[in-house]
Amino acid sequence: MKCPYCAEEIQNEAKICKHCKSNLVNPANNPSLSVDKPKRILHQKLGTGSCLILFSAIFFIIIVSVAVMSLGGNESSSVSTPQQSTVDFAKVEKAMEDLTKAGLVKKTDPSLNQVYVSKPYWDAQDIEAKETAAKAFAYYVGYKKGTNLYWVDIYDWQSGKRLAKYSESWGFTVY
């Protein structure tokens, strides 16, 4: 016969299971039916090992985070400092005003990093002038948006066709 509580083989006339100590005659007095006891035993057995694993994982993550921040922090500050010092935003704003008055820039949308230009005026420029203008657009949009991310998409203001894009990290692309 098998014990109804632990499924171990026991004698047919047994009154208490020798494996789980369950009372087979009076099930109401069974210590193995208590809900708290198995959970406590399981929690105690896994608690120490789980805590040790958890604390060692947290310690490892903290060590790796500190190492990454100490190595990565120096590179990002040295990269971003020259960008900020080489751009005079007053000159960029003045250039945007001049381009708007000249008819090249028709509309700017800094929230979407978009500048709409006059296509005939855009097509009349050589590639270096287009790249310089795109760079100025990117700095203007990034400055107006309040981020240190300088990128822009340039569109024809009449058709909405994408003409070019500029990004500090990806460079200049004409479509």
Instruction: Please tell me which residue, 171 or 104, carries the higher pLDDT value.
Output: 171
Q: According to the model, what pLDDT value does residue 75 have?
A: 46
Least confident span in 10-19, 86-95, 146-155: 86-95
Instruction: Please tell me which residue, 35 or 159, carries the higher pLDDT value.
Output: 159
Q: According to the model, what pLDDT value does residue 40 have?
A: 52
Q: According to the model, what pLDDT value does residue 163 have?
A: 93
Q: Is 50 left (phi over 0), alpha (psi -120 to 50) or beta?
A: alpha
Q: Summarize pLDDT for 138-153 with one digit per residue, the tens.
A: 888 888 888 888 899 9
pLDDT (average), residues 164-174: 91
Instruction: Please tell me which residue, 106 or 83, carries the higher pLDDT value.
Output: 106
- In the chain, where are the structural domains located? 1-33, 89-174
Q: Which residues contact 119 (CB under 8 A, 6 or more apart)?
A: 156, 157, 158, 159, 161, 163
Alpha-carbon gap, residue 103 to 8, rounded angstroms: 91
pLDDT at 26 exceeding the cut of 50:
yes
Give percent above pLDDT 70 in the chain: 76
Alpha-carbon gap, residue 107 to 99, rounded angstroms: 11
pLDDT at 55 exceeding the cut of 80:
no
pLDDT at 80 exceeding the cut of 50:
no
Q: According to the model, what pLDDT value does residue 28 have?
A: 63
Residue 86 banded pLDDT, cuts 50, 70, 90 = low
Sheet holding 151-156, edge to edge: 105-109, 114-117, 151-156, 162-167, 171-174
* pTM confidence score: 0.48
Alpha-carbon gap, residue 3 to 12, rounded angstroms: 10
Instruction: Please tell me which residue, 24 or 171, carries the higher pLDDT value.
Output: 171
